[in-house]
Every structure is written in structure tokens, then in C-alpha cells.
Structure 1
Amino acid sequence: MNKILTTDRRRFCQMGLAAAGLATTTGLLGQNGFADQPSGDGDKPWLRKTLKIGMIKLKDGSLEDKFRLAKEAGFEGVELNAPTVNVEEANAASKATGLIIDGTVGKYHWQTRHTDPDPAVRKEAMKLLKKGIENTAAVGGRTMLLVPGHGKDGTDQEVYDRAVAAIEEALPLAERNLVSIVIENVWNDFCYDHEGGNDQTADRLAKFVDEFRSIWVGVQFDIGNHWKYGDPAEWIHTLGRRIHKLDIKGFSRAEGKFTKITEGDINWPSVEKALHDIKFTGWLAAEVSGGGLERLKEINDHLEESLHCSKSISSVG
């Protein structure tokens, strides 16, 4: 029997069993695949607000103090940095404050890249990715954000193949730990043309995710990152159920720079409609300049102003 067909069939069966198990025993699968939203709970907000741990600025404060500050500012979750999570401290802080650790961000992937030409560097990157997945699971997180590589590391094909190989190697561990590897669309010369125009599509990113034929690989779609290169609403329609989670920031095409969420020229009504069209519900992570309580409250307000996060699931379904 053809080896590729055998592998595909095995992966297909694994996916089916995993999806069935999740849907019936844990309730993790939402409309978009990994909404982490209780099924049928129509009164809950359609978007759950989270933020990056580095945005919480608190001089001399403990992790619990930071969690408490984010909670007071109106956030439901937080993303920690992997693979350097202090698991015991993080779990204690979450339990004490009620702030959910919904996922992590791989903080090594710019310096130690999975597409580096040096096999030794790629090997080290794999160790960090696997440790990050284990960190994420240990604190109850469901996603680990990954920038899979950089276009400067070789030809387009070399970079693509190395990125695929890395995720393929880590995927079994992610599946066992119920952690989704989520690819962020960033300015890394990968799956888009960095010197190209503003009419680019998400087709190449969708193809990359589809390489893995797994519910455990998806996209943490950053709404602001590619407004310079394409329409985020169109990207959302193309990526569809591949989107497991959202990042949000502002960007001004007119000025060519990132902005506060509500101060750029992104068409937020079109983005919101696109998300409703693909039936997305789940986590929305702020990724902007942070600060103390007042700044975090401002960010929380901007999330509400841009995408009306608190509307109920039933009202947008």
C-alpha cells in the first residue's frame, strides 16, 4: 500500500477519534474548533478577552498581583510566555484570582528559529517547542502561539519544508497534551510577499495549515498585522475554521504604522461581520502597548468598541 496514503489514513483516523473524544467528554470544541466556550451557553460573550502577560505593568508586583490587575481591568484570561512558565506560581496565581491561563506565546521563535539553516539551531528550537507545549498543558492552556520560521532563512521551499517538518515532529506531543499549535500571521516573509501590495490573500497561509490535516494546528489570526498587505475580513473568510484564536492591534495604512486598536484605519465592522460569517466564538487576545490599571481598562474598552465582545453568543449566531 502507498506509504503516503497509509499515513494520511492513519492521521485522518486520529483526527476523527480526537475530535469525537473532545466533543463528547471535554466540551473544548466550539464552533470554530477551539473556542473553549461551553457548548449551548448562549448568554456568554461571543468573544472572551485575554492579553499578553508582558502588557501588565506592575512595579515590584508578583504574578498573582499582575493577574489580579488584569482581572480588575476586565480581562478573563492571560497568555504566558513559553517555555519559561513557572508552572507552580502560574497555577497558584490563576486559582487565587480566577484569571484563566488560556494559552501561551512561544518567546524563543525569533531568535531560535525552526527554519534556521543550521540543523543544530533547529534541534534546539524543537526542544523549546516541546517544552512549551508541556508548559502550556501544565497550566491548563489550550493554545501555544508559534511563528514557524522566517523567509530569510533560505529559499521559499526550504523555509516552507523546514517549518512543516518542525510542526509535524511536535504534533504528536501537542495532540497528547490537548494543546493546539496556532500560527500567527506576522511580518516574517512567510506565506505572503513582504514587498508586495495590499491586495494579498491568505491562500498560502491556509495551505500551510492544511498540510497537517490536524485539528491541533490552526491560526491565531492577528487582525491588525496584515492590514498593510491585505483585507483582514477577506483573510478571515479564507481561513475560516482554521482560526482557533484571535490577536488584535490597530494599524494605519495611511501612516504606515501600528496604532492603538481604535485609532488606525481598519474597518472593524467588516471584521466583525466576517467573524460572524465563519461563526467564530472564543478568545480575543490584545497585543498592544500595555501599562497599569488605567491603560489596561482603556485596552479593554477598545476591544469592546472595535468588536463588541460582550454581545451574547446567541445574538451573533
Structure 2
Amino acid sequence: MLKGINQWCFPTGTPLETVFEYSREAGFDSVELNLNSYGDVGLTMDTTIEEAKNIVELASSYNLKLRSNSTSLLWKTPLSDPREEVREQGREVVKKQIRLANVMQMDTILVVPGVVDESTSYIDCYIRSQEELRKIIPFAEKNSVVIGIENVWNKFLLSPLEMARYIDELESDNVGAYFDVGNVLQFGYPDQWIQILGKRIKKVHVKDFSTAVGNITGFVPLLSGDVNWKTVYKALLEIGYDDTITAELAPHHIDPGSLAVDTSNHLDRIIKFGNKYIARVGNVK
């Protein structure tokens, strides 16, 4: 598996060259970039093809791969919004992710499919988001990019069975799961999600979570929370996952590079402990 780190692991506004420098020095294989608003740092809604290609060259100069991109913009323009103009903005965000992924030879984009709130019921979120994704899928297929549906704290897709069904109903090989290990600790077990989602999983995010805290402040550094990394690693191998595991953690503002170093070491230990556990219990397919 490739060790990846998300751009969000560094303070907002950190130049990409610094992100790549810190990531490479820490021993990462890849960096996941984020699509930002117009005029921001890195990939934005106004990034040109030429600029995107230059970013690929910059990453390559640090011997880093770019395997996927994500965005927070869909929280503001969700595909589940009751207003058509907002959903249209959301579609444009996803299409921009796809265009950039194609140009930059990324095979997957991370998509938060919708948000359940007081103005959007659970069933409306389900129906609307699928309708909007069906409009985008042909574009993803044409560009050979997978839309990775993420399990995130959006009060939606709260079980692995439901998430599997949601993806299957879209009937496209270009839609899969972008599975976040830490996001399910509040209401499930990551290894069970992995077993059920199986080959649908196209990319993986890793962070840890303290169930004793039990709210948004409960996300903690890897190995500091309650994720059973041995069973998670075993489950990933059992489904044949051999792609990128990308850390997504809150940045260190005083010494930004230290988070990359610590997290890279934690991932090495997770892989090491996972392999020892598998050697002891066996049963990896």
C-alpha cells in the first residue's frame, strides 16, 4: 500500500511546494490535493489545465504521486440541496474535480454525496443526491475517473449495508466508496464496514477517534484513539485492497512539518503491527 497524506494536514495557505517538501521528507508516497475556492492555494475552481500539469511536475520533482483529490466545497453546495441552483453549483464542483483528476492522472475523487439537515430530510438527501450523481456519472466515465462516495459526519449513509446499496443503485463502475476509517467509530466498527463494502472501496482515509470524547473534538492522531488498526489492516488485505491509505488529520500550526513525520511513523507501525497480527491469526485471502 502507498502511504498518503492529505493537503488538509498542513495549515491553510501552505504553498504546495512546502506541502510536497514536508511530505517527501516524512517518507510519504503520495499527497491528496484539495479543490478550493477561486483564488485559493493549490487546486481551485479556476485552475487551468496548464497549471494543473505544472503541479503534477512539481509533485514529481519530489518523487510524490497524486492519486486523488477531495474538496470541502460540497458542504456549501450539496448535491442534496432543495434549491436547483445550489445543486447545479455542486455538480460544477464535482465536474471540476473530475477534469483536474483526468488531466493530473488521478483515478479517484472524493465526494460528500449530500447533507441531511433541517431543510433536507434523509429520504430527500438520498433521492436528490442520486439524481445529481446520475447526471455526472457519464462525465466521470468519459474521463476514466471514479467518484468515491465518502462516509462522513453528514447524518447520511450511517451503515455499511446502506452505503453498499446506495453505490450499487448507481450502476456504474465509476462510482465506489472512499472509506474513512475514523469516521465510523462513533457508530460502528471499521473492519466490519470494510468487509461489507469490499471491492467497492477505491480509496481509504485514516484518522483515529476517541469514543470517550464522542464528538467532533474526539478525532486524534493515529494510534491515540480506539481504532483497532490490526483488524482494519487485516480487513483491507482480505478484500484485496492495495492502493493508497491517506492520512487526514488536523494540522500542527507551530511546527507544521512535525505532523507529517509523526503520522508517517504511525502508518509504518500500523502496517508493521498489522502484518505481525496477520502472521499470528492467519486467514487473509
TM-score in terms of structure 1 length: 0.76
The within-5 A match list for 1:150-229 is 150-152=115-117, 153-192=119-158, 201-229=159-187
Partners of 2:81 and 2:207 in 1: CA distance: 28
Partners of 1:306 and 1:263 in 2: CA distance: 12
CA contact (8 A) 1:262 1:305 kept: no
Q: Which residue of 2 aligns with 1:67?
A: 20
Cα offset for 1:81? 1.4
Q: Which residue of 1 aligns with 2:72?
A: 107
Q: Structure 1 residue 130 and structure 2 residue 95: aligned?
A: yes
The within-5 A match list for 1:157-306 is 157-192=123-158, 201-256=159-214, 257-291=218-252, 292-306=256-270
Structure 1 167/58 Cα, relative in aligned 2: closer, same or farther at 3 Å?
A: closer
What secondary structure sits across from 1:182 in the alignment? strand
Partners of 1:309 and 1:245 in 2: CA distance: 21
Partners of 1:268 and 1:108 in 2: CA distance: 30
Partners of 2:132 and 2:31 in 1: CA distance: 26
CA RMSD for the aligned pairs?
A: 2.1
Q: Show CA shifts across 1:65-117 (max 9, x none).
A: 32122111111111111261541441231232221111100231101111011
CA contact (8 A) 2:108 2:146 kept: yes
CA contact (8 A) 2:29 2:64 kept: yes
Structure 1 242/58 Cα, relative in aligned 2: closer, same or farther at 3 Å?
A: closer
Unaligned runs of 5+ in 2: 37-43
Please identify runs of 4+ aligned residues in structure 1 that moved more than 3 A: 56-59, 307-311
Cα offset for 1:62? 4.0
Q: Structure 1 residue 307 and structure 2 residue 271: aligned?
A: yes
Partners of 1:49 and 1:242 in 2: CA distance: 20
Unaligned runs of 5+ in 1: 1-46, 193-200
More moved, 242-251 vs 274-283: 274-283
> Identity percentage over the alignment?
32
Partners of 2:125 and 2:164 in 1: CA distance: 16
Cα offset for 1:253? 1.1
Cα offset for 1:187? 0.8
TM-score in terms of structure 2 length: 0.85
Q: Structure 1 residue 78 and structure 2 residue 36: aligned?
A: no
